[in-house]
Amino acid sequence: MNGAGRPGRFWSARRVPAGLTALVLFGALGLLLYDIVSERTGHPVMEWRRWLAEQLATRPLHDGWIVGIAVALVVIGAWMVALALTPGLRGLLPMGDADSHAENDADAIRAGIDRTAVRLVLLDRAMAVPGVRAVRVDVGRRRIRARAQAHFRDLDEVRADLLTALGDGIRQLGLARRPGLSVSVRRPAR
């Protein structure tokens, strides 16, 4: 839970990218350490290290290859920092339980619902409203938009019924942060 007492967003574990990055770095550093120890014990330096030292000594800093590699490394580093600092699992909406509060955060159970599941639940509720011919529901993290086509009832009545049905559906889902709801109703094109 965050400081406001409301459950925050879910963070993805990102175990696979972290494991692959660790393996690549471990292998590269192990190879470099092996070459340094080999050199210190009187063996010749590996060819790749000799070539790299020669390239770094002879190429100017404004060379296209040097600048390109530096830019690529900065982009990869910034991407890794962004992954580390941002929550993943954007498709999960956190759910909260207003009736029971755990003694401490360790006892609290975190629950979430996928945005696609929320869309399907609200789509079923909207199609149950009399007069609705077709409906499209878009679920975002902060707003739910419903666009419906009505074919035999007054548009204002259908809109009011849709607002009631979808509002009840959102409340019954038990989301920690209730998203805003916007509903538009029109007649189908002839």
Residues sharing a CB contact under 8 Å with residue 147, sequence separation 6 or more, in sequence order: 135, 136, 183, 184, 185, 186
The CA-atom distances, in angstroms, between 122 and each of 98, 134, 161 are 21, 13, 13
- Whole-prediction pTM: 0.61
Q: How far apart are CA 136 and CA 186, in angstroms?
A: 12
Q: Give, in degrees to the nearest 5, the angle at Cα 57 between 52 and 61.
A: 100
Q: Which of 93, 87, 145, 144 is nearest to 115 (CA)?
A: 93
pLDDT of residue 3: 47
**pLDDT tens-digit series, residues 51-107:** 988 888 898 888 898 899 999 999 998 988 887 777 777 788 888 765 545 555 555
Q: What is the average pLDDT value for the chain, to the nearest integer?
A: 85
